[in-house]
């Protein structure tokens, strides 16, 4: 399936920009499939609309979120966790679209982590001014698998640090179709998104969509 979806990519492949040991940015890796990815996002949104979650401390997140896959990441006053059901709809999250799973697998292979079968995709929608503070993806039972993060829409500043919040943080511009992959020694690296500047994207308008693929269970 991966080969069928990605064997038409032009040239020798995307540029690879190392971020740290175990972390790489694949420039433009998803660009040729962006239209299909956006269409899949809209299908997921129709079944499980974006919503602003609340942190355990009671703060409303500026980023709107939804999920697809076997489980979805949720947050409320009781804590952070993965749940098989959408707490708003009271039914399972939408099935992960094949184009999502194929892209995540292909990016993992390209980054040197081998085959990857994510069971969760967190979809974040950023609007101008929204941000995601430095955090670790550590709610997953399987931290041996990498994280695959896909940028669509407006460009943003990706923050990528070390294993301690106080470690130096790189600021990297990510654009439509870029894919970041990290695992191994970088699997628990702190990362985030700086406040999104205003602008307009040809496909997504005044927003940025981020797909984060994880092996949660």
> What number does CATH give the domain 16-214?
2.60.120.590
What residues form the annotated binding site for Fe cation? 135, 137, 191
Name the binding residues: 73, 80-82, 124-126, 135, 137, 139, 165, 191, 208-214
**What is the residue extent of each domain of the chain?**
16-214
What band does 2 get if pLDDT is binned at 50, 70 and 90?
A: very low
**Per-residue model confidence (pLDDT) at position 5:** 45
Distance CA 153, CA 174 (A): 10
112-136 burial, b at 16+ Cβ within 10 Å, e below that, comes to ebeebebbbbbbbbbeeebbbeeee
Q: Distance between CA atoms of 158 and 207, rounded to whole angstroms?
A: 15
- Enclosing H/E stretch for 7: none
| H or E segment and range at residue 202 | none
Assign 72 a pLDDT band (cuts: 50, 70, 90): very high
- CB crowding 7-28: b at 16 or more within 10 Å, else e: eebeeeebeeeebbebbbbbbb
pTM listed for this prediction: 0.92
**pLDDT tens across 16-67, in order?**
999 999 999 999 999 999 999 999 999 999 999 999 999 999 989 999 999 9
Q: What is the Cα–Cα distance from 114 to 197, expressed in whole angstroms?
A: 35
Candidates 131, 128, 103; CA nearest to 117 is: 103
Give binding residues for substrate as ranges. 73, 80-82, 139, 165
* Interatomic CA distance for residues 202 and 175, integer angstroms: 13
Tell me the average pLDDT of the chain. Answer: 93
Please report the pLDDT score of residue 142 as a whole number: 84
Q: What is the DSSP letter of 33?
A: G
**Residues annotated in a binding site for 2-oxoglutarate:** 124-126, 208-214
Alpha-carbon distance of 198 to 37, in angstroms, equals: 22
């Amino acid at each position: 399936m991966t080969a069928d979806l990605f064997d038409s990519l032009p040239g020798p492949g995307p540029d690879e920009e190392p971020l740290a040991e175990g972390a790489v940015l694949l420039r433009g890796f998803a660009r040729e499939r962006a239209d299909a990815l956006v269409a899949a996002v809209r299908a997921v949104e129709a079944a499980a609309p974006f919503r602003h979650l609340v942190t355990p401390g009671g703060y409303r997140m500026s980023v709107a979120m939804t999920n697809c896959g076997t489980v979805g990441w949720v947050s409320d006053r009781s804590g952070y966790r993965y749940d098989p059901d959408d707490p708003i709809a009271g039914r399972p999250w939408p099935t992960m679209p094949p184009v999502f799973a194929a892209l995540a697998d292909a990016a993992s292979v390209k980054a040197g982590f081998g085959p990857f079968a994510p069971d969760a995709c967190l979809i974040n929608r950023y609007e101008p001014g929204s941000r995601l503070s430095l955090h670790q993806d550590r709610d997953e039972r399987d931290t041996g698998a990498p994280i695959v993060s896909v940028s669509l829409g407006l460009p943003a500043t990706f923050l990528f640090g070390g294993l301690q919040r106080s470690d130096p943080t790189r600021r990297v511009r990510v654009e439509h179709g870029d894919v970041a992959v990290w695992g191994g020694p970088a699997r628990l690296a702190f990362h985030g998104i700086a406040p999104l500047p205003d602008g307009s994207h040809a496909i997504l308008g005044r927003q940025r969509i981020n797909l984060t693929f994880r092996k949660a269970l």
